[in-house]
Structure 1
Amino acid sequence: MLSSKPSNAFFKWLSESNGAVYSDLQNDIHRYQEGDLPKTSVRIIRLIYSQGQTQEIVENWLSNIGSICYVCRLERTVTLLGIEVAICESENFGDLSVLSGCDDLIVFEVKKRLPSLNQPGLLVMDMDSTAIQIECIDELAERAGVGKAVSEITELAMQGELDFEQSLRKRVGLLKGLNESVINELCNALPLTAGLIDIVTVLKSYGWHIAVASGGFTPFVQHLKDTLGLDAAYANNLVVEKGNVTGELSGEIVDAEFKAHVVDILESRYKVEHGQIIAIGDGANDIPMLNSSGFGIGYFPKLQLKVVADACIEKFDLRVLLFFLSK
């Protein structure tokens, strides 16, 4: 049975500097600064939320853990909020379903060393449906009047009847004759995923390198690179002649394996520790890239990717990524 203690008293204490122990719940809660956890053999979860009213649910849950626990605030320069909760390894967190059922709360159990925001790092992002809200080839297909045909080819690829390169070449072939101006117009109207500018700004302020590796097309990743000041961008080259798409590709195909290779290339180029490399994507095509990184994140991921990711963002937006970093 959950207690019905008044809300916010605990969080008021946590945000103030006086008093190392909070004793008004059924168990003692010890405050610590992020990175200075006084215990080593512990289980850790992080709670990320956006509204103060969620604090009442968290406080009730904390009061029913039944053992001493340790809590710190996760201070990030974004509007989301976060705390880290640690208990002895031999204890348990009680009924986590009370938390996971809350629409305004992400529960993340820390099971491996987290990349550190304070150390040099590398973030490699998928573009379509991760860094931006759309699938660029679908948008181009609609403008070319071949949206249905492209969708049917995509479905064959998803069913395993076509591999990525076959699927890509068939879809690009249907874009033959599309005027280059359509590509330029779409570049200038790319809908950035919420939180993208926030994480790029924060990571760059800490000296991180940021790149995009996409199975999409170079004009779009180059636009992102130039607009956001990214360090590198990889995608497929659409051939354009006399102002129109020829329906062909040039150069090496950026498929799942190439995206994984990008991680290796940039790890060597920037001399980043492997544990400081994050990859984020949404689909099965991103699995090798995530597996090549030190910490893989699924962004509203397909099931195949979700099961291999170290963490998933399935609520809020890209700002959550900052709470998967230590500090």
Structure 2
Amino acid sequence: MPHDSAAFLVVLDADSTLIRNEVIELLADEAGRGAEVAAATDAAMRGDVDFATSLRQRVDALAGVPVSAFDRVIARIDPTPGVREFIDEVHRRGGVAAVVSGGFHEILDTVAPSLGVDRWRANRLEQRDGALTGRVFGDIVDAAAKAASLREWADRAGVPPTSTIAIGDGANDLEMMAAAGLGVAFNAKPAVRRRADLVVGPVDLRDVIPLLP
């Protein structure tokens, strides 16, 4: 039995979809390794390298960053244009807005509720003595985990797969886009645009509102 009930489910990626930033690059700036990590992130989003392997390598660059850096990173977050209007419209039509991210709970736990997101899932960064260790705590949220989250949340809300929408930009979003009734490439890499059901060009989530049930 579903835990709650909704008319439909929308699942968004976080970095470069819900928000304009790539959070791991903002964190890497704190370690003076922003450019290096940005290049690795771009390769991962294109699908050139395995996401989980790439994430572990990029998180390693964060070793020693103080936990106090989270507040500075949150202050730099730039929500995607139209995100609040989009989520408000999802709710007005009886839907659930969710986010599943290869990024980090330490940032998303503040950002997601501030934008009206109903539920979210992301990676967690291991910490010791007030600083990051350079390792991910627990299982990595990769492409398979994103698709599994969409299915889990749909089941919980009593929403059939045909009434789900997945919105993302990177290669690690492709599995959840394939699992959804509608897969939308938003601000997306070429490989994602080629395989999506629909492509939204302008970086404004209000342009996705006409696709809502």
Q: How does the TM-score come out when normalised to structure 1?
A: 0.60
Question: Is the contact made by 2:151 and 2:161 (CA closer than 8 Å) also made in structure 1?
Answer: no
1:297 aligns with 2:184: yes
Cα RMSD over matched residues?
Answer: 1.9
Please tell me whether Structure 1 or Structure 2 has the larger radius of gyration of its CA atoms.
1
Count of matched residue pairs = 208
Deviation at 1:245, TM superposition (A): 0.7
Distance of aligned partners of 1:177 and 1:264 in 2 relative to their CA distance in 1, 3 Å threshold: same
Percent identical among aligned pairs is 36
Q: Per the alignment, do residues 286 and 244 of structure 1 end up closer, same or farther by CA in structure 2, a change over 3 Å counting?
A: same
User: What is the DSSP-based 3-state SS (H/G/I as helix, E as strand, rest coil) of the residue aligned with 2:68?
Assistant: helix
CA deviation string 1:268-322 (max 9, x = no partner): 1111122211100011111111001111111122111112212111025100111
Q: Which residue of 2 aligns with 1:50?
A: none
Q: Distance in 2 between matches of 1:299 and 1:159?
A: 14
The aligned residue for residue 76 of structure 1 is none
In the alignment, which of 269, 275, 279 is matched to residue 156 of structure 2? 269
Which structure 1 residue ranges, 5 or more long, are not aligned? 1-118
Q: Which residue of 2 aligns with 1:10?
A: none
Tell me how far 1:158 sits from its aligned partner: 6.2
Matched, 1:129 2:10: no
**Cα separation, partners in 2 of 1:266 and 1:170, compared to 1, 3 Å:** same
Contact 1:215 1:235 in 2 (8 A): yes
The aligned residue for residue 86 of structure 1 is none
- CA distance, structure 2, for counterparts of residue 269 and residue 316 of structure 1: 30
Aligned mate of 1:247, from 122, 134, 140: 134
In structure 1, distance between residues paired with 2:39 and 2:114 = 33
Match runs of 1:15-164 below 5 Å:
120-154=7-41, 157=44, 162-164=49-51
Could you tell me the TM-score, scaled by structure 2's length?
Answer: 0.90
Aligned-residue offset at 1:225? 2.6
Please give the secondary structure, in 2, of the residue aligned with 1:132.
Answer: coil
The 3 A distance-change label for structure 1 pair 158 and 250 is same
- Aligned residues of 2:18 and 2:79 also touching (Cα < 8 A): yes
* CA–CA separation in structure 1 for the residues paired with 2:46 and 2:188: 17
Q: Is it true that 1:217 corresponds to 2:94 in the alignment? A: no
Q: Unpaired runs of 5+ in structure 2?
A: 1-5
Q: Secondary structure at the match of 1:307?
A: helix
